[in-house]
Structure 1
Amino acid sequence: MSESEKAPSEVTRLIRAWSDGDKGALENLMPIVFDELHRLARIRFLDERKSHTLQPTALVSELYLRFVGETNINLQDRAHFFGVAARRMRQILVDHARKTRAQKRGHGKTTLSLEVFGEMGDGSSKKVVDLIALDQALAKLSEIDPRKCRLVELRFFAGLTIQEASDMIGVSLRTAKREWTIAKAWLFNELKHIDDPREEPPGRAGGSTDE
């Protein structure tokens, strides 16, 4: 069990104190949530060749530095914190992947595990994905259906359970499960089209109306 799971009330207290402008609260918070953030970074960041300069510890350290630079943040609880951390981690990883690709003149990929997505109905699944391709797909999904994109970020980058994610975005568990299934199918299809640019892009990811 992680430290953040052992002391949820303390995590929430520090998160709210930080939101209220107490910079010292962030310094006290990060050691508590570090193990969980590091675990999330490690299980998603599969390509661990020695040539990589951004490893899980460096990713969490960069996340901390970005949080230090935040001047206007409003967080309520652990789920909210990890939701924001998910988006920041995505930004950091994509920035690093683009920089690495530019240095290699367009060659080389940064891959992430898609284990959390599981298998599709036909039993197929992608085990890893190029991070930049995933970011492109998520950007498109955000334009089509922002809520589904946020759900994917919370599940994939923040590691929240489907219940935690549904609570955070304010929908029923039944709706979250349905939209998670739709979002997964859409992303797998979109990633297939990104992998093969000769394909025409797929359409909408379905509606997002709650019950």
Structure 2
Amino acid sequence: MTGNALAIRHVPFEDLGLLAPLLNARGYRTSHLDAGIDRITPEALLRADLVVVLGGPIGVYETAAYPFLEAEKEAIAARLRAGGPTLGVCLGAQLIADVLGAEVRSTGRKEIGYGPLTLTPAGRDSALAPLDGVPVLHWHGDQFAIPPGATRLAETPGFPNQAFSLGDEVLGLQFHLEADHTRLEPWLIGHAHELAAAGIDPNRVRADAAAYGPGLAGVAIDVVDDWLGRAETA
């Protein structure tokens, strides 16, 4: 197919990563809007054939400190009402959950680094099936409840809601399938304060990225490719 893929980016280094070449291979022309700089409007999201809402280090509830979140939520809500493939990653999944009426809150703890997923029975029947038991990159302290009508797909011991789907067109991932392990250094620099505050050694994240990243990359591309195939024909 040929279409337009729009990514909403909250920090420059949390970008499409591994997804960019996949989308290009599927015939998408990719563009992005930078939250807090570019206007994020319902019209922009409705024009896109695919919307990817990426991660970032703020909370969906911090609208007083980051007023652009209100407009972003309105745009996402319009997109969800209209339908069309929509993928949320970390903060992006939390924003989707929020506009669907689910609670998103701080947990007071961090899940940062590579750790395995456990899929629910529905998850094992979904595009996420190849990820069962596979270490993926986590980088969050907030968590979402599963939105009304959505299906819970994955969990970890500390965070029971790691992924959800709403039909075939909407997928929310708490973890970072898009992250390219060969380009993780900007994450370690950009989130240095968070790592230090959580007592996490960046060398451990580097080592795990080297150990798990190469194998995960191929699986991640296959998972998103499978989801796109389902979403595009929904």
**Which TM-score applies when normalising by structure 1?**
0.28
Query: Could you say which structure has the larger radius of gyration?
Result: 1
The structure carrying a bigger helix percent of its residues is 1
